[in-house]
Amino acid sequence: MTLRQSGKFTAATRWSLLLVGLAVAAGVSLTVWRPDPYETLSLDEPPVETASRGGDATFVGTTRCAECHADKAADYETTGHSRTFHVMEDSPIPSQLDGQSYVDPIRETTLRYEKEGKGLAVRIPEVFGDEPFPLQYALGSGQHAFTFLTLIPGPGGDAVGIEHRVSLFSATASDRTVVPGGTLGLTPGQKDYPINEEVDHFGHIVSRDALEKCIRCHTTTGEISGGEVINLLPNVGCENCHGPGSRHVEGMIRERSGSSAALPRNVRHLGQMFTKQWSALDEIRLCGQCHRMPEDVSSDRISPYHPSTIRFQPIGLLKSRCYLESDKILSCSVCHDPHLHSSNQNITEHENKCLSCHSLTTQKDGTSCPVSPQKNCIECHMPAVEIHPGVYFHDHWIRIRGDQPGKLDQDEIDAESSSVGPCNPEN
Ligand code: HEC
Ligand code: HEC
Ligand code: HEC
Ligand code: HEC
Ligand code: HEC
Ligand code: HEC
Ligand code: HEC
């Protein structure tokens, strides 16, 4: 856990933006900024309280929860949720990238990475000589990629973000440079970005609004102050799903000490404070706050085989007959233990979930498969599809498919790649 209060910009002040550049970036984000997906929800049932509206309770952080829920916390440590936001100085990345360089295949410039103190900086000697540009935060668990983020002053001194042009990937691809522990390559979506401002050499300007969204989906708490994220509880913690836990912790401590004035067990499943039962849709909405709901993408992106539909699991699941025709009981946690990394659950476990509704003996909820009634359900009905070179997502629109599993039309991939970053909230 890192709490930083100084609010200072790092060495990035020199790269403050010209007004004109920001106006363009802000203009783009205004039209797509959605303050709260729950408020624009068009599905049939109203949502219950979200984790972020947890009454008078405050956030205490995952380490606090771990004091009493050690088993859950140990499982949770294996998930991507537990390590998706890193302060560069506290991470091993500076040592990993020290002395490495990457030749941008499009612009033919060289990016050189060097450790500066405990942090990391990049230089482009052909353009800026020896001037360093700091790398401040890394987003992602590294399972697919780390993408770097630096805050620089916009007009008026308010921070905007720079999503770096080069990311650190775990998989190899032909256009990438192998370094210890990963490969450097262009951040998906940034390939064809033009250079309008000096800072565009290093990456893409992320408007203030979009920056706040990045932080909201990848941390438990954090606010932008000056050039830093303060009050930072990094990563998707217990409290992103269960709600702020201070009152629960207080209550449990009192209960343990036998106090008669026990407080209510204030943390319930999924941040819901008291008695109301969560429906599958409520849970899908919780996950969909970050994994995206149908209203978070434009409707022309919601169709079979569209990369956005594949990438954002709630969209596909909500379209599936398995969800629609099972009294809508098929929530994410039916198949995923949210406390375990998905790779800790093997495919057979998932298939047993299919068979709980689709076997010859349990005809209650569904029919069985005429082609393969016992096995390999996922590869035919929820295949992994490559939506960016080297990046695969399982299609959660469970259905009888007309395509060859796992292959997308190259034009569709290209169309998506040119408009969507790895996780660009402006889409
Ligand atoms: C002082 C010990 C303690 C701490 C700290 C603590 N819990 Fe608990 N928690 C408990 C106990 C005891 C229970 C009840 C277990 C039971 O009845 O099975 C519980 C139950 C829960 C439940 C299940 C509630 C239900 O409705 O079934 C959740 C979810 C939970 N805790 C989450 C958290 C989170 C998130 C944190 C950190 C913000 C946290 N706990 C911190 C002791 C603690
Ligand atoms: C609406 C919530 C949301 C926003 C906003 C968001 N992310 Fe993400 N991010 C996710 C989710 C969910 C995943 C995992 C699934 C996926 O890749 O779509 C993810 C995955 C990632 C990954 C890949 C992690 C890995 O190891 O595979 C990176 C890197 C990343 N995000 C960076 C960013 C950056 C940089 C921003 C801001 C420009 C951002 N994200 C904004 C929700 C979000
Ligand atoms: C606050 C935002 C947020 C919420 C809420 C959220 N996720 Fe995630 N999820 C992420 C991000 C960010 C990642 C990417 C982690 C990384 O860097 O690899 C992710 C990754 C995942 C992964 C793939 C990696 C892994 O560790 O297994 C699964 C599966 C997943 N989430 C399931 C869920 C489910 C199920 C829910 C709801 C119960 C949920 N998520 C709620 C943000 C969120
Ligand atoms: C991505 C969302 C998410 C995160 C992060 C998360 N949980 Fe949960 N948790 C759930 C959901 C959904 C359920 C109910 C379904 C289930 O039991 O699997 C649940 C159930 C629980 C329960 C009660 C049921 C049980 O299995 O005992 C406890 C206790 C709990 N979580 C504690 C924690 C703690 C502690 C953390 C952090 C170390 C944490 N959770 C992180 C989503 C999450
Ligand atoms: C019917 C079972 C099932 C349901 C329901 C389900 N998933 Fe999955 N999910 C899978 C399988 C199978 C995989 C691929 C194997 C793995 O990673 O465990 C997967 C993979 C994922 C991944 C990893 C990235 C990817 O797409 O390969 C994420 C993130 C994810 N699911 C999120 C969700 C969310 C969020 C929900 C709820 C909207 C959900 N899943 C509902 C079965 C399911
Ligand atoms: C909660 C119960 C439930 C679960 C779990 C479930 N399904 Fe379904 N599924 C249904 C229902 C109900 C239907 C619609 C009626 C029917 O075809 O039986 C359906 C329909 C289908 C269809 C036909 C869809 C179409 O396009 O016509 C396929 C294929 C399918 N399911 C595969 C799967 C696979 C694979 C899994 C596991 C990853 C799975 N289902 C998990 C309940 C479920
Ligand atoms: C080799 C690919 C393949 C595998 C493996 C496979 N299926 Fe299918 N499945 C199909 C095809 C193709 C159809 C359509 C058959 C037809 O319409 O004649 C189908 C149809 C279905 C249907 C619709 C049946 C109906 O009558 O409406 C369900 C449900 C289903 N599969 C579930 C499953 C489950 C569960 C598994 C794993 C136990 C599975 N499938 C494994 C290819 C596969």
Q: What integer pLDDT is reported at residue 272 of this predicted model?
A: 44
Q: Domain map of the chain by residue range?
A: 11-238, 280-419
Return the H-helix or E-strand segment holding 225: strand 219-225
Ranges under pLDDT 50 in the chain? 1-5, 19-54, 262-263, 265-276, 427
Placement of tokens 């050039």 in the chain: 227
CB of 381 shorter than 6 A to ligand 7: yes
Find the residues whose C-beta lies inside 6 A of ligand 5: 284, 287, 291, 313-314, 317, 330, 332, 334-336, 342, 345, 350, 353, 378, 382, 384, 393-394, 396
Q: What integer pLDDT is reported at residue 344 of this predicted model?
A: 67
How many Cα atoms sit within 13 Å of 105 on the Cβ side?
10
CB of 400 shorter than 6 A to ligand 7: yes
- Which residue from 32, 139, 143, 417 has its CB within 8 A of the most atoms of ligand 2, so it is best to mutate? 139
Report yes or no: 390 and 158 within 8 Å, Cβ to Cβ: no
CA-CA-CA-CA torsion sign (94, 95, 99, 100): negative
How far is the centre of ligand 7, averaged over its atoms, from the C-alpha of 361 (Å)?
16
How far is the centre of ligand 1, averaged over its atoms, from the C-alpha of 242 (Å)?
10
**CA gap 196, 200 in Å, rounded:** 7
* DSSP codes joined into one string, 69-127: -HHHHHHHTTSGGGGSEEEGGGSSHHHHHTT-EEE-TTT--EEEEEEETTEEEEE-HHH
User: CB within 8 A of 132, min separation 6: which ones?
Assistant: 11, 114, 116, 121, 122, 123
How far is the centre of ligand 6, averaged over its atoms, from the C-alpha of 48 (Å)?
27
CB of 336 shorter than 6 A to ligand 6: no
- The 3-state DSSP class for residue 221 equals strand
Q: What integer pLDDT is reported at residue 137 of this predicted model?
A: 98
How far is the centre of ligand 6, averaged over its atoms, from the C-alpha of 354 (Å)?
7
CA 63 to chain centre: 21
Nearest to 16 by CA among 219, 160, 138, 206: 160
**CA gap 178, 183 in Å, rounded:** 4
Return the H-helix or E-strand segment holding 224: strand 219-225
- The 3-state DSSP class for residue 366 equals coil
Report yes or no: 277 and 360 within 8 Å, Cβ to Cβ: no
Placement of tokens 């298939």 in the chain: 351
How far is the centre of ligand 1, averaged over its atoms, from the C-alpha of 276 (Å)?
18
* DSSP codes joined into one string, 139-192: ES-SSSEEEEEEEEE-GGG-EEEEEESEEEESS--TT-EEETTEEEEEPTT-TT
Protein residue whose Cα sits closest to atom 22 of ligand 2: 140
CA 50 to chain centre: 18
Residue-wise pLDDT tens digits, 25-56: 333 332 222 223 323 333 344 444 444 444 57
Q: What integer pLDDT is reported at residue 313 of this predicted model?
A: 97
* DSSP codes joined into one string, 227-291: TEEEEEEESS-HHHHH---HHHHHHHHHHHTT-TTPPP----GGG--SSPPPPHHHHHHHHHHHH
Length reported for the chain: 427
Q: Which atom of ligand 6 is nearest to the CA of 367?
A: 18
- Which residue from 319, 322, 395 has its CB within 8 A of the most atoms of ligand 6, so it is best to mutate? 322
Protein residue whose Cα sits closest to atom 30 of ligand 5: 313
The structure's pTM equals 0.91
Nearest to 83 by CA among 291, 197, 233: 233
How far is the centre of ligand 3, averaged over its atoms, from the C-alpha of 338 (Å)?
8
